[in-house]
Amino acid sequence: MLESEADYKRYNISLREDLSIVDKNEVNIIVRNAINQLTESEGLEKDKFLNQLTKLENTNDVSFSISETLAKLIDKIPAEKFRIKTSRIICKNHSKSKLSGEVLKQLKEENPKYYYIEKEADTLELRFGKYDALKMLSTIVERNSGDGKLLRDVAYSAMRLGLSEHAFYLFKKVIEKMPHQPHSYQAIAQILTEMGNYDLALVYYEVAYSAQWNGRFGSINEIIGLDYLRFLRLATHLKTGTSNHKFVKTKLAELEKRYKSRTDKINLMITINWNTDNSDVDLHVIEPSGEKCFYSHKNTKSGGNISYDVTGGFGPEMYINPAKLGGKYKVRAKYFSDNSNRASTRTQVYVVV
């Protein structure tokens, strides 16, 4: 209802008609209908996730099946956990005059060059903030919605900008386009962990770990397993963690036994993933002593170790160290080589410590 009779006259609204609508629609009915719509939406999100797993079962180059244990795990998770709320994108810039002449020219083209869009997004981030940057990047996605490489690149950008919920949905779209690539499942699990949605993070980790991926992804199963182990240890110490406590304890015991030789005394673990295929990005870790651990010097005096050198795909590479060395560690990613997709996207590296 409006505040005064003058407001009704100003907007040409009949007071009697307005009162009639209020009388016929009780607040409790409206609220109940809204709740029912929300519940239905949450249920649909859970169904979509199950359909996604069914698609993965029928994907070439991947060996995966929905086990009875996984099915029970998913069934126990409340439907609302599958519906991730996104923050509203509120941009500060609303004027074309504040965009560069080159990007305005590119936006008029049917297929604008991604290089200029990325460059403009970086500028907008500095001038106006993360939402303006993401909005600029989304323009290229809208015009190339079927390009999984671009979707993945913008998803990593959203992660870097701290827009986790938007990164979640972007990676889901990447999975729709390219379900055979394991890194998107792991990335979503890490995003959900940061957001505090441990139930759904647990499921994504379990899917990424239990599937057998193409050999070209190197030691991806072992690295996902160690990352999964890190998550399970975290989940057991959280008062508001996952509701599947029994599964977590059982899985934690399983992975600790499997990786016992590597995890007994791990005090530091660093992993990197990147967003472009057929790329060789090398992880370099300089320890407090000054000794560098990298692909041609994989073992250090302190016990530091680098995983297998991944020369294709999207990584990951991992560094672990059992020693408690005080001081500063320098983490560097060296862009060694690429193949053919530099024309569309740049390589971004995501680091987890």
Query: What's the pLDDT score for residue 21?
Result: 58
For position 231, what pLDDT does the model report? Answer: 92
Q: What local confidence, expressed as pLDDT, does residue 350 receive?
A: 72
Q: Is the pLDDT of residue 26 over 70?
A: no
236-250 pLDDT per residue, tens? 887 666 778 889 999
Element (H, E) at 122: helix 114-127
Q: What is the CATH class of 265-353?
A: mainly beta
Neighbouring CB atoms inside 10 A of 22's CB total: 10
- Indicate if the alpha-carbon torsion angle 38, 42, 47, 49 is positive or negative: positive
Task: Tell me which residue has tokens 């970086």.
Answer: 122
pLDDT of residue 54: 93
Q: Is the pLDDT of residue 40 over 50?
A: no
Q: Whole-angstrom Cα distance, residue 193 to residue 320?
A: 21
pLDDT digits (tens, 9 = 90+) for 56-109: 999 988 999 999 999 999 998 988 899 898 888 889 988 888 999 999 998 888
Mean per-residue pLDDT for 275-299? 83
Provide the token pair at 311. 């020369």
pLDDT tops 70 at residue 312: no
- Output 146 or 136, whichever has higher pLDDT: 136
CA separation, residue 9 to residues 1, 19, 20, 22, 230 (Å): 13, 15, 17, 18, 64
- Rounded CA gap, 222 and 176, in Å? 24
Closest of 251, 231, 250 to residue 241, by C-alpha:
231
Instruction: Return the domain boundaries, the chain.
Output: 265-353
pLDDT band at 192 (very low <50, low <70, confident <90, very high): very high
pLDDT value, residue 341 = 45
Backbone conformation region of residue 327, classed left if phi is above 0, alpha if psi is from -120 to 50, else beta: left
pLDDT for res 351: 77
